[in-house]
Amino acid sequence: MSKKLLIDLLKLRNLEDLKIEGIFRDEKSTAAFKTIRELATFQFTCRKCEIAPCVNACPAEALEKGEDGIVKRAVNLCIRCKSCIVICPFGTLMDNLFEVKTSDYRFFDLNDDSELKKFADAFPADMVSLVDMEEKREENIYKLNDKILIKEKTWS
Ligand code: SF4
Ligand code: SF4
């Protein structure tokens, strides 16, 4: 069994001045520019409001709620105005979630197992670690994909 990254989103969320991002690079897709933080936040932290204030507040029609209730951001449409961040009544979206990533950011392509390890090494071990385990919902650990587990207190 190959190792997975376990990311404690509760702790990561509170890290100030975070300049490290994990992505799944795919030259053919703009989704490559979505960070693991963004994917995990919309999937696990977001309360999936029935009438989503974030979607309605977006002046660029960049947010859409899928049939699964998960909000997705069209990277090519988003103008990074932060309206969605401000209006979310639950403070779901981190302030710097969609900001332009400047050259002082470090990106790790998590398709690559060596980068997976480097990404883990860039954080304190209680925040991001490599583990041999599967999803454990009873411990608030959820599968984001085959390589990433997210620890988060979900609303439902
Ligand atoms: S307003 Fe906040 S909690 Fe509601 S759908 Fe949007 S991001 Fe999720
Ligand atoms: S930051 Fe992007 S997704 Fe959010 S409201 Fe502004 S344009 Fe829409």
Structure confidence by residue, pLDDT tens digits, 90-130:
999 998 899 888 888 999 999 898 999 999 999 999 999 99
Strand pairing partners for 128?
7
User: How much distance in Å is there from the Cα of 65 to the middle of ligand 2?
Assistant: 13
User: How much distance in Å is there from the Cα of 81 to the middle of ligand 2?
Assistant: 5
Residue pair 6/129 in contact by the 8 Å Cβ criterion: yes
Work out the mean pLDDT of the chain and round it to a whole number. Answer: 91
Q: For the full predicted model, state whether its pTM sits above 0.85.
A: yes
User: How much distance in Å is there from the Cα of 88 to the middle of ligand 2?
Assistant: 12
Q: Ligand 2 atom closest to Cα of 74? A: 3
Q: Is any atom of ligand 1 closer than 6 Å to the C-beta of 88?
A: yes
List the residue whose alpha carbon is closest to atom 5 of ligand 2: 58
In Å, how far are 5, 22, 23, 54, 84 from 150, measured between CA atoms?
Answer: 8, 13, 14, 23, 23
Mean pLDDT value of segment 31-48? 89
Residue 115 is predicted with a pLDDT of 93
DSSP label of 48:
-
CA distance linking residue 100 with residue 105, whole number of Å: 10
For 50-84, the pLDDT digits (tens) are 999 999 999 999 999 999 999 999 999 999 999 99
